[in-house]
Chain A
Amino acid sequence: MSAISRQLNKLMNADSSIRTLYGVASFLLPLLIWCLVSYTPFIWHPKVLITDVGGVDYFQVGMLVDKEMFASEMANMSVALQPLPAGTPANPIYLPAPHEVAQALYNGFANPPKQADTPSMPASIWHSIQIIFWGFLISSVIGVPLGIISGTYNRVGRLNEPFIEFFRYLPAPAFGALAVAVLGIYDGPKIAIIVIGTLFQQVLIIANTTRKLETTIIEAAKTLGTRNFRLLTRVVVPGILPDLYRDQRILLGWAWTYLIVAELIGTSTGITWFITQQARYQHFDNVYAGIMVIGIIGFGTDLLLAKLGKRLFPWDRTQDKS
């Protein structure tokens, strides 16, 4: 028995290390493409970065000009027997190289912002995380119990699900103006948008998960003397817990996708404000850094929650397959 399980573990470990390898590769591939486009002068590079103005009076060192314009000025200057301008191929300003974004990411956390009216990256992110936290918490406090009850008791489900089914098609950002009118311009409407975006899906998904619980398990519990409320707390809830946890992870991801829209409502705040301000100053390296931080936090939390899930639900076999 133990020998078999040991063998099985070995097999699984080998399998999981290969999986990790593929996982890393799936990140390296896009990075490789980005590097190729950024560091190989003959791939794309539609602009020229001026290093020597030569005889062209409107050129400046550090200026980005179109390749065609540079070529025509080169021709003009050689005809006019003026000093030739010099420059290196460059990408447009909206595509910074990987090292610049990495630098910006580091700077964002290590140094305070250069402009006084721009928010610092850590403060922006912290604000965004709080919005997500409260939005998701409020949604879950309502959505999880309602979903479980709708899935367990058909009558409750039939009473609320048709309306929720309708409501979930209403795009959450459409409620932005209304949310501002009701909740003011600060964090209230932002949290509300996340709640509206998450809650309705949450009820339906969790009700569905609850319905998928094996009926034999409920019947077995009944023959063992379980009744009413205890059937819910001792059988239904523990029975669906691993799936409920997975649902919550997916829903948390959705909550993040509503973040940017939510933060534009009322006074712009959080990582959205950071990104829009940096774009205004054309600091696109910071813009990319800001976007990436959202991805890193979202994906990181999910990985962490997945690991935690394995700890929490050792009996759950479906996660072996994922």
Chain B
Amino acid sequence: MKPAHSTRPGYLEQSPAVKARFDKIKQREVILEVRNLGKRFVTAQGEVDALRDINFSIHRRELVCVIGPSGCGKSTLIRILAGLENHTSGVALLDGKPIDGPGQDRGMVFQGYSLFPWLTVKKNVMFGPEMKGHGWEQAEREANLWLELVGLSKFSDAYPHQLSGGMRQRVAIARALVNEPRILLMDEPFGALDAQTRAKMQSHLMEIWRNIDVTILFITHDLDEAIYLADRILVLKPNPGEVHELIEVPVPRPRSPAQFSSPEFLATKARLEELIHPAAKAEKNEAEEEQNGTPHLIRFTNVNDNVE
């Protein structure tokens, strides 16, 4: 490490290639702009700010991850952007137009299985084009194309319940992308998958993103996933949900799992850990646990019947 850089934290250091790439991204037009966005809930205990004063913008073909501890309002944020919830202050602009209700210009992939169980895989994907008023044949053609892209052509006549979790999420991605949305909103889409499937889906998603003109906003609680996928990471903090930091990920592209141990990756991860699990808080949690005491176990087996 050069001494000139030693004063700056590692995650802010960018290689020339990475810096050039970020400069290029910033040249592109802004797809999504969020200004002073706030969401206030009225509960029995009074008013609660789920989100306060959120500001950020996403450029075309950027992949931005949103991360934060539970209760930081990341799901609320993406649901507001999808138009499924209302915000109480500020604006969210898609291509300069304020977001008002759900629409086909924003695709959404949910964590749970949101596929229509009564429709086959192909008809699930055809649903969007049909809503748009495309004829059956055109819708079918589009669906076939996208199923090919996510590698599920063979399963086009299967019902969702016959597919594995990973396959279902691939269908959900195809179903959202077939509408050619300006932005793809993904709400912890791989959260319910096992580690192996999850890794496969991550590379699969990047493959899609590389080949298609689509901007992605991806919510996750997995730090590795965020660093692996994102150009920038929006870190939120809870109570009220506010932007903690917007980090430019210094890990060069194309990404591969080999980079998980690269210095840029580790520096970024260290920073995220610091933001999400502050040391002071961790100590406090430990103290709390100490106070509550470890569970006191009574022996239910014979004294001589040892497992270790």
How far apart sit A313 and B112, CA to CA, in the bound complex (Å)? 22
Chain B's closest residue to A239 (CB) is: B118
Query: Does chain A have a CB within 8 A of B122?
Result: no
**Chain B 111-139 per-residue mask, 1 if CB under 8 angstroms from chain A, else 0:** 01111111100000001100110000000
Chain A's closest residue to B82 (CB) is: A223
Q: Are B132 and A225 in contact (CB under 8 A)?
A: yes
Partner of B83, one of A223, A230, A316: A223
How far apart sit A225 and B172, CA to CA, in the bound complex (Å)? 15
Chain A: minimal CB distance from B161 (Å): 5
Query: Does chain B have a CB within 8 A of A222?
Result: yes
Chain A's closest residue to B161 (CB) is: A317
Chain B: minimal CB distance from A318 (Å): 10
Interface residues of A in 220-237 (CB under 8 A from B): 220-226, 230, 234-235
Contacts A224-B128, A315-B117 known; A216 to B84 CB distance under 8 Å?
Answer: no
Partner of B179, one of A219, A221, A225, A315: A225
Partner of B103, one of A225, A234, A314: A225
How far apart sit A315 and B172, CA to CA, in the bound complex (Å)? 17
Q: In the complex, which range does the number of interface residues on chain B fall in?
A: 20 to 34
Q: Are A223 and B176 in contact (CB under 8 A)?
A: yes
Query: Does chain A have a CB within 8 A of B159?
Result: yes
Q: Are B175 and A224 in contact (CB under 8 A)?
A: yes
* CB-defined contacts of A316 to chain B, threshold 8 Å: 117
How far apart sit A224 and B107, CA to CA, in the bound complex (Å)? 7
How far apart sit A234 and B130, CA to CA, in the bound complex (Å)? 11
How far apart sit A316 and B160, CA to CA, in the bound complex (Å)? 11
Chain A's closest residue to B162 (CB) is: A5
Q: In the complex, which range does the number of interface residues on chain A fall in?
A: 20 to 34
How far apart sit A222 and B116, CA to CA, in the bound complex (Å)? 12
**Chain B 74-91 per-residue mask, 1 if CB under 8 angstroms from chain A, else 0:** 000000001110000000
Contacts A230-B131, A315-B159 known; A223 to B118 CB distance under 8 Å?
Answer: no
**Chain A 102-122 per-residue mask, 1 if CB under 8 angstroms from chain B, else 0:** 000000000000000000000
* CB-defined contacts of B172 to chain A, threshold 8 Å: 220
Query: Does chain B have a CB within 8 A of A238?
Result: yes
Q: Are A239 and B102 in contact (CB under 8 A)?
A: no
Query: Does chain B have a CB within 8 A of A77?
Result: no
Interface residues of B in 49-94 (CB under 8 A from A): 82-84
Chain B: minimal CB distance from A224 (Å): 4
How far apart sit A315 and B157, CA to CA, in the bound complex (Å)? 12
Query: Does chain A have a CB within 8 A of B152?
Result: no
Interface residues of A in 199-253 (CB under 8 A from B): 214, 216-217, 219-226, 230, 234-235, 238-239, 241
Tell me the B residues contacting A by CB distance below 8 Å: 82-84, 102-104, 106-108, 110, 112-119, 127-128, 131-132, 159-161, 172, 175-176, 179
Tell me the A residues contacting B by CB distance below 8 Å: 214, 216-217, 219-226, 230, 234-235, 238-239, 241, 313-317
Q: What are the nearest 6 A-B pairs in CB distance?
A: A220-B114, A223-B108, A225-B104, A225-B131, A222-B102, A315-B159
User: Given A226-B131, A314-B159, A315-B118, 11 more contacts at CB 8 Å?
Assistant: A214-B112, A216-B110, A219-B108, A220-B110, A220-B114, A221-B116, A221-B127, A222-B84, A224-B127, A238-B119, A315-B119
